[in-house]
Amino acid sequence: MPDIALEDRTVLQLAEDLRGGRTSAAALAEAAIANHEAGDATFGAYKTWDPARFRAEAEIADRAFAANFDLGPLQGIPVSVKDLYGVRGYPTFAGSPRELPQEWRHEGPVIRALRGQLAAVSGKTHTVQFAFGALGTNPHWGTPRNPWDADDHRAPGGSSAGAGVSLWEGSALLAMGTDTAGSVRMPASMTGTVGIKTTQGRWSLEGITPLSSTLDTPGVLARSVADAALAFSVIDPDVSPDPTSFLADIETATVGDFRVGVCETFFADCDPGVAEGVRAALAELEAAGARITQLEIPDLDEVDQIFRTGGLSAFEFASFINDVLPDFLEDIDPMVGSRFDKMTALTAAEYHGRLRRMAALSQAAHAAIAGVHAVVGPTIPITPPKIADVQDPKAYMKANLMAARNTTVANLLAMSAVTIPVALDAAGMPVGLQINCAGGDDARAVAIARAFEKVLGTARQRLGTPPLAS
Active site residue 160: no
User: How many CB atoms sit inside 10 A of residue 467's CB?
Assistant: 11
Q: Pick the catalytic residue: 80, 122, 183, 233?
A: 183
Write down the catalytic residue from 82, 96, 124, 224.
82
Active-site option among 24, 80, 96, 159 = 159
Spatial neighbors of 144 by CB under 8 A, at least 6 apart, are: 43, 44, 45, 125, 126, 136, 156, 161, 162, 165
CB distance 113 to 123 below 8 Å: no
| Nearest CA-CA partner of 132 in 276, 360, 272, 332 | 332
Cβ-based neighbours of 285, under 8 Å, separated by 6 or more = 255, 260, 292, 452, 455, 456
The total number of residues shown for the chain amounts to 470
Rg (CA), the chain: 20
Q: Active site includes 183?
A: yes
What residues are paired with 262 via a beta bridge? 294, 376
| Structural contact between residues 87 and 129, judged by C-beta atoms closer than 8 angstroms | no
Residues tagged active-site = 82, 159, 183
